[in-house]
Amino acid sequence: MKKPYVTSILFIALALPTLAIEPIERQALIDLYEEERVAMELYQGFNAQYDLRPFANISSSEQRHREIMADLLKSFDITPPKSLGKGKFKNPTLQAIYNQLSAEGKVSVEKSLAAAALVEETDIRDLEHVAKASDSDEVKDTCEILITASENHLRAFVRNLENRAVIYTPQVLPEKLFKEIISQEMSCGGKRQCDKQWKGKGKGKRQGKGQGKGQGKGQGKGQGKGQGKGQGKGQGKGQGACRC
């Protein structure tokens, strides 16, 4: 029987200001860029301790998200902040968040997954805040891409908790929105789409009616009904894993 789970993390929310004037919006975008690094370095640390595939895959995704945010910053003539070193952040609120979640995640794999789910909840909230407040289509489109990716990540972490008989309780998002996100399938969206959808391109072995793995740019998983163990570059109708 699954047991209710409420993380003991005392989360310090990143208070993003209303984007009413340009200097404030500039700082909000910088904070979003740094949030991606917080997530990436947390997941890298958790993966080093627990060797869990979601942490490995999603930490790579967070690096791509940093690159997307860096491009956005540069389009507004904003220089992305230089790293102060692993686990070091100029923003004191982000530093406190990193320290707290890092310590919490070291307690157990369940705690690390809950910490990661909390990070993704917060990313979704902050990205939506910036998108709604901005008048820039470029900002809105970028936030849309990253929101879709964070929803995928949230589903992955919550489902990994469920596989361990742990029920995650949302702490940042409204419960109705949280349930809507969790009930959906993995997706790859946004007007530009995050690295596009992958349909199992590349070389790999297909085994009967089971699952096959292929490597192209990044890693993807797909399911096929075809039989045979040969190698091929064909496209199937199965679902590929989004690289968001």
Does pLDDT of 154 surpass 60?
A: yes
Q: How far apart are CA 69 and CA 50, in angstroms?
A: 28
Whether residue 235 is predicted with pLDDT greater than 50 in this model: the reply is no
Written in H, E and C, the secondary structure of 165-187 is: CEEECCCCCCHHHHHHHHHCCCC
pLDDT for res 244: 61
Q: What is the pLDDT of residues 82-96, one digit of tens each?
A: 888 999 999 999 999
Predicted confidence (pLDDT) per residue in 5-19, tens digit? 444 434 434 544 433
Contact between 110 and 165 under an 8 Å Cβ cutoff? The reply is no
Q: How far apart are CA 6 and CA 115, in angstroms?
A: 11
State yes or no: pLDDT of 241 exceeds 50.
no
Residue of 209 and 172 predicted with greater confidence: 172
Residue 55: is its pLDDT beyond 80?
A: yes
Q: What does the chain come to in residues?
A: 244
Report the candidate in 32, 45, 18, 30 with the shortest Cα–Cα distance to residue 122.
32
The dihedral region occupied by 196, where left means phi > 0, alpha psi between -120 and 50, and beta the remainder, is left
Mean predicted confidence (pLDDT) in 238-243: 40
Which residues are CB-contacts of 241 (< 8 A; sequence separation ≥ 6)? 186, 198, 219, 220, 221, 222
In Å, how far from its chain's centre is CA 66?
A: 11
Whether residue 48 is predicted with pLDDT greater than 80 in this model: the reply is yes
Nearest to 113 by CA among 164, 77, 78, 67: 164
Q: Are 45 and 105 in contact (CB under 8 A)?
A: yes
* Residue 223, helix vs strand vs coil: strand
pLDDT at 71 over 50: yes
What is the C-alpha to C-alpha distance for residues 11 and 101, in angstroms, rounded to an integer? Answer: 8
pLDDT at 224 over 70: no
